[in-house]
Amino acid sequence: MTAVAGIDVGGTKCLGVLFDGYEIVKSVRRPTPHAKELVTTLVEIAKELGTYSTIGVGMPGLITPEGVVRASPNLKGATDFDLRSQLETRLNHRVTVENDATSATHAEWQVGAGRGSSDLWMVTLGTGIGGGLVIGGKLQRGSHGFAGEIGHMVVHPDGLSCPCGRRGCWERYASGSGLAAIAGGERGEEVIARAASGDAQATELLDVFGKWVAIGLANLTNITDPDVIVIGGGLATSADVIMPHIRNWFGQILYSPEHRAHPELRVAQLGESAGAIGAALLSTN
């Protein structure tokens, strides 16, 4: 296998990897610039990665199958932005551009925690919530490339307002910022650290949080009947503290739990590299 390259565009940093024979052989990182400088930064990363047969980019937001960024809420100025053709012109090489969560889902499914699954959800619990899905052994993109925007499922009509302009979106409750909201403004990491050291009040907050996560996971299960749900994102690094609460509530909230095989809740294995590895793997298709 020849090396393939992938670059994940994050809210604060861009991570490029050269992936060969199931391992990262080189990685390059740069701060994420303003959208006007994005193409230049990605070209620099691609050149620094060296020689690759194919290259892909994972990009947050609504990405069309043609690699046009329709909107990217955390990257100001990236609206109706033809990222793929600009990169292809500058690199003189074919480039694929996919949604970052779709890329991460593909990576965890193919070479991470989701290996062996035919029907999978990947749920990334970070500042917000990202998602991607596999149905019947096929990665799903939806009719316009926008499938898996699960963070904005409404779970609480008239609930907390969301930057998307609506109210009660799942990520207002079940992400890192959701945990902070539940905790009255205390940072999620601090709540988790207190719970890890045995603080009863923090443990109660995490239980409330775990229920919100489980509500969404149960909804996803009702829609696609997955065999595996992979939990990733920044909060998954504290899986030993948060997962028991999520598992407990999931077992109770799941529809008809005593009459079905429960989807296996697995913790993501590829960490922050999932998006870049997935972009690299998808570039070979």
* Residues that bind Zn ion in the complex, under the rule CB under 5 A: 152, 162, 164, 169
Q: Which conformational region is residue 227 in: left (phi greater than 0), alpha (psi within -120 to 50 degrees), or beta? A: alpha
The answer to whether the beta carbons of residues 85 and 65 sit under 8 Å apart is no
Q: Which is nearer to Zn ion, 62 or 162 (CB)?
A: 162
Give least dist CB 38 to Zn ion, A: 24
Q: Which is nearer to Zn ion, 43 or 160 (CB)?
A: 160
Give least dist CB 215 to Zn ion, A: 15
The answer to whether the beta carbons of residues 4 and 277 sit under 8 Å apart is no
Give least dist CB 166 to Zn ion, A: 5
Give least dist CB 60 to Zn ion, A: 14
Q: Which is nearer to Zn ion, 6 or 216 (CB)?
A: 216
Q: Which is nearer to Zn ion, 54 or 175 (CB)?
A: 175
The contacts of residue 68 (CB under 8 Å, 6+ apart) are 80, 81, 82, 83, 84
The contacts of residue 149 (CB under 8 Å, 6+ apart) are 131
Give least dist CB 169 to Zn ion, A: 3
Triad 101, 102, 107: Cα angle to 5°: 95
Give least dist CB 171 to Zn ion, A: 6
**Measuring CA to CA, how many Å separate 230 from each of 46, 84, 256, 260?**
29, 29, 21, 19
Q: Which is nearer to Zn ion, 155 or 193 (CB)?
A: 155
Q: Which is nearer to Zn ion, 121 or 170 (CB)?
A: 170
Amino acid at 32: T
Q: How far apart are CA 48 and CA 264, in angstroms?
A: 39
